[in-house]
């Protein structure tokens, strides 16, 4: 008890811990920001996976088709332009364009939705190439075997090719998920209260930069470590199912 009292009465505690996190409930900046960061990441990941899978299927189908039709050629051109533009420009610029140009008439309470869309579109471009590499690495005989059983091209892709591709690309997909978590740190550019902006709000009130920024870094590190552990667990389970 005496040790606890001496710690809380110390100058370090009062100046760096109490003032930055406890006084005026400033810790809520971090918890609210973390909540927004998680929401943005999960929402963007869902959009990125769906968009990336669709783009990858179009690209692979076009590349494997002997004589692709006009519609497939047009879709492939659109996908290539999308990949080139998104992968060739910074995510923060894309976010600003989405907020100040595409959704210029959006209300301030719609910033979270705009951020999810912006990061989802950005992630989709990288996920598309990850999926494409996974699909291309699956034995072509799998497609032929599926078609010989009477399945359509789409059914073979969905039921046979994609599950195998996901197992192959899972480590890379987890890395993209981790990168997405860290990329959301620029959401503050549209004044959205994410985790990084929460730490910056504390700093602007206390004029003490190190403790809040250290706390933000520690929270990001913990989240990334948990995601890495989750990825290893899923990989281990998939490997066990393959052996069985």
Counting residues of the chain whose pLDDT is more than 70, the rounded percentage is 93
DSSP type of residue 65: -
Please tell me the predicted confidence (pLDDT) of residue 238.
Answer: 75
pLDDT tens digits along 165-212: 888 888 889 999 999 999 999 999 999 999 999 999 999 999 999 999
Please tell me the predicted confidence (pLDDT) of residue 221.
Answer: 96
Which among 164, 97, 94 has a CA at the least distance from the CA of 131? 164
Q: How far apart are CA 20 and CA 207, in angstroms?
A: 9
pTM greater than 0.75 (yes/no):
yes
Please tell me the predicted confidence (pLDDT) of residue 2.
Answer: 54
Which among 40, 45, 51 has a CA at the least distance from the CA of 125? 51
Which among 28, 220, 190 has a CA at the least distance from the CA of 112? 190
Lookup: tokens for 116: 């999810």
Counting residues of the chain whose pLDDT is more than 90, the rounded percentage is 59
Please tell me the predicted confidence (pLDDT) of residue 5.
Answer: 57
Least confident among 11-20, 72-81, 90-99, 224-233: 11-20
> Radius of gyration (Cα) for the chain, nearest Å?
23
Q: Is 244 helix (H, G, I), strand (E, B) or coil?
A: coil
DSSP 192-239: ---HHHHHHHHHHHH---HHHHHHHHHHHHHHHHHHHHHHHHHHHHHH
CB of 98 within 8 A of CB of 114?
Answer: yes
Answer whether residue 142 shows pLDDT above 90: no
Local confidence band at 36 (pLDDT 50, 70, 90 cut-offs): very high
Least confident among 14-18, 86-90, 113-117, 152-156: 14-18
Least confident among 121-130, 141-150, 172-181: 141-150
Please tell me the predicted confidence (pLDDT) of residue 237.
Answer: 82
Q: Is 90 helix (H, G, I), strand (E, B) or coil?
A: coil
Please tell me the predicted confidence (pLDDT) of residue 19.
Answer: 87
Classify domain 36-235 at the CATH topology level.
MetI-like fold (1.10.3720)
Q: What average pLDDT does range 91-96 have in this prediction?
A: 96
Please tell me the predicted confidence (pLDDT) of residue 50.
Answer: 95
Helices in 65-209 by DSSP H: which ranges?
Answer: 70-87, 91-97, 111-137, 141-148, 153-156, 162-183, 195-206
Please tell me the predicted confidence (pLDDT) of residue 229.
Answer: 92
Please tell me the predicted confidence (pLDDT) of residue 107.
Answer: 86
Which among 65, 182, 82 has a CA at the least distance from the CA of 129? 82
| Candidate ranges 56-70, 72-86, 151-165; pick with highest mean pLDDT | 72-86
H/E element, 9? helix 2-9
């Amino acid at each position: 008890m005496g040790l606890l009292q001496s710690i809380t009465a110390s100058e370090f505690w009062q100046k760096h811990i109490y003032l930055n996190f406890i006084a005026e409930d400033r810790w809520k900046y971090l918890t609210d920001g973390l909540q927004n960061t998680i929401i943005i990441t999960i929402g963007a990941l869902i959009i990125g996976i769906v968009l990336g899978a669709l783009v990858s299927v179009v690209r692979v189908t076009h590349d494997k088709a002997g004589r692709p039709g006009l519609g497939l050629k047009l879709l492939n051109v659109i996908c290539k332009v999308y990949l080139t533009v998104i992968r060739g420009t910074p995510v923060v610029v894309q976010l600003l364009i989405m907020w100040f140009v595409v959704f210029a008439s959006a209300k301030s309470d719609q910033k979270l939705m705009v951020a999810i869309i912006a990061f989802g579109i950005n992630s989709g471009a990288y996920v598309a190439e990850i999926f494409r590499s996974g699909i291309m690495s699956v034995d072509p005989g799998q497609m032929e075997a599926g078609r010989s059983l009477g399945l359509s091209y789409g059914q073979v892709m969905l039921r046979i090719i994609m599950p195998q591709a996901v197992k192959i690309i899972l480590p890379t997909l987890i890395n993209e998920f981790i990168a997405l978590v860290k990329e959301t740190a620029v959401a503050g550019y549209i004044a959205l209260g994410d985790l990084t902006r929460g730490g910056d709000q504390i700093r602007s009130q206390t004029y003490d930069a190190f403790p809040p920024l250290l706390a933000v870094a520690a929270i990001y590190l913990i989240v990334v470590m948990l995601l890495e552990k989750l990825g290893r667990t899923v990989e281990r389970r998939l490997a066990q199912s393959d052996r069985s």
